[in-house]
Amino acid sequence: MKTNSYVPPSKVMDLLLDAVCVVDTRGCFDFVSAACERIFGYTPEEMIGRPMIDFVFHEDRTRTLQAVDEIVAGHPQPHFENRYVRKDGQVVHIMWSARWSEVDQVRVAVARDVTERKHADSMQAALYAISEAAHSAEDLVALFQHIHQIIGGLLPAVNFFVALYDENKDELTFPYYVDEYGQAPAPQKLDSAAMSAEIIRTGQVLHLTPNTEGGLTRCARPDVGRDSSNWLGVPLCAKKGVIGALVVQSYCAEARYTNKDIELLQFVSAQIASAIERKQMEIWLQHIARHDPLTDLPNRELFHDRLQTALLWSERNQTPLSLLYLDLDKFKQVNDTLGHPIGDLLLQEVARRLKQCVRESDTVGRVGGDEFLVLLNGITLPEQALSVAEKIRVALGRPFDLAGHRVHISPSIGVAFYPEHSNDYKQLIRYADEAMYDAKKNGGNRFQITSRPSILNTRKYKSTA
């Protein structure tokens, strides 16, 4: 019995796993094969007659239209990739092989769904990239910028932020925040109503969409700005617990975060949390290497570096600076009578009061024991530096209430000026140190200008008791 072996081309086309599309000169679909419904979620009837660009993910539309111009100009595109938005809102990655038919005046293209491959490749690349960023980034902000770029290659992440929680301070901060409609929120407590705080408190993923029943059902409000169409946040889980939250949000209704996006973000968040912890540890180690562990003031090494830098800047810009060297009168008595723990509390409180007496541009350092250095930048008149010295004398002369003990101390302060007394940082410190000992010999609780003669032959200033 003879059988008919002929199969119409349209039937063969409908059996293909890849989709065949024909687009007319207006940019509208003229024909799509049955596989389009599996790939894009739309039936052929829903696609035919509609502009092709309407289905393209909004971030990829410009370069897609550029590729169209090249195809129409006679340059086939055998491996062009872009993203489309399925009917269910999921973003899919498509690889196209397309060419222009001059005879028929249409573009003919074959579409292959490469979403699974792209996700697998992207996740592998993301893990390597996150690890590399953790080692190469100079600070946390640079690390977050790298992470933002990495996440943006995996899912829609134009709006992206990182929230970190400091358990010791009970403070939630937003060190990296990129949003189309808002600025980073102010630091807040963990019991705030922010959605990122909810993630950190519960350690659970929070995914909100326009269809979320009751709107913000598990927390009171978004972190800042207007409500987004889609909001997805995952906890950053480290060895010591949840250290923060990683959040992406979209104001575009067509870009919806799916379960696959949630799994992907959770997967990379573990690597990101480790990278953040590692970078925080590096920053902390660098900090303690150059800061006094008791008062958190710059130590001798860091203070000397800042003083040398300030001298170079002052020399280049022909501006003066002042250096104060101070020692606490009767500090040894406090340690001997009340013990070292009270002495430590006293040093911490002295550091706090010293910082309150100077500007942000000045530097206060602890250089050993009960000795402190104060660098005053851009002080145009010596009287201004002496005014700060007097302010410090008064501030440290007020009683200190420390663990049930009322302590009274006073400072002896030595003062030296650049350029009057020296342009060398070591000499400037030595001259201020000598002046401090002169103040102490004269009874303490006073400031004293160095007795070294002015190298500029300027007028002298009297010390003030």
Query: Would 456 be classed as within a structural domain?
Result: no
In a domain, 358, yes or no: yes
Is 432 inside a domain boundary? yes
Quick one: 372 and 421 in the same domain?
A: yes
165 and 57 in a common domain: no
Residue 144 lies in a domain: yes
Task: Give the count of domains, the chain.
Answer: 3
Say if residue 439's pLDDT is above 90: yes
On the question of pLDDT at 284 being above 60, the answer is yes
Domain span at 368: 300-449
In a domain, residue 295? The reply is no
156 and 106 fall within a common domain: no
- CATH code of the domain covering residue 178: 3.30.450.40
State whether 100 and 159 are in the same domain: no
Residues 354 and 419 in one domain: yes
Average pLDDT, the chain: 88
Q: Could you tell me the CATH number of the domain that includes residue 382?
A: 3.30.70.270
Q: Is the domain of 83 the same as that of 130? A: no
* Domain membership flag for residue 455: no
* 124 and 207 inside one domain: yes
| Residue at 458 is within a domain | no
Which has more confidence, 261 or 227? 261
pTM above 0.75, yes or no: no
pLDDT at 267 over 90: no
Residue 205's nearest CA partner among 258, 159, 134 is 258
Per-residue pLDDT at 8: 58
Identify whether 411 is preceded by a cis peptide bond (ω within 30 of 0): no
Q: How many CB atoms lie within 10 A of CB 254?
A: 16
Both 136 and 101 in one domain: the answer is no
Mean pLDDT in residue range 311-320: 92
Compute the average pLDDT of residues 277-282.
87
Structural domain contains residue 5: no
Q: Do 108 and 122 reside in the same domain of the chain?
A: no
Rg of the chain (C-alpha set): 34
Q: Quick one: 138 and 277 in the same domain?
A: yes
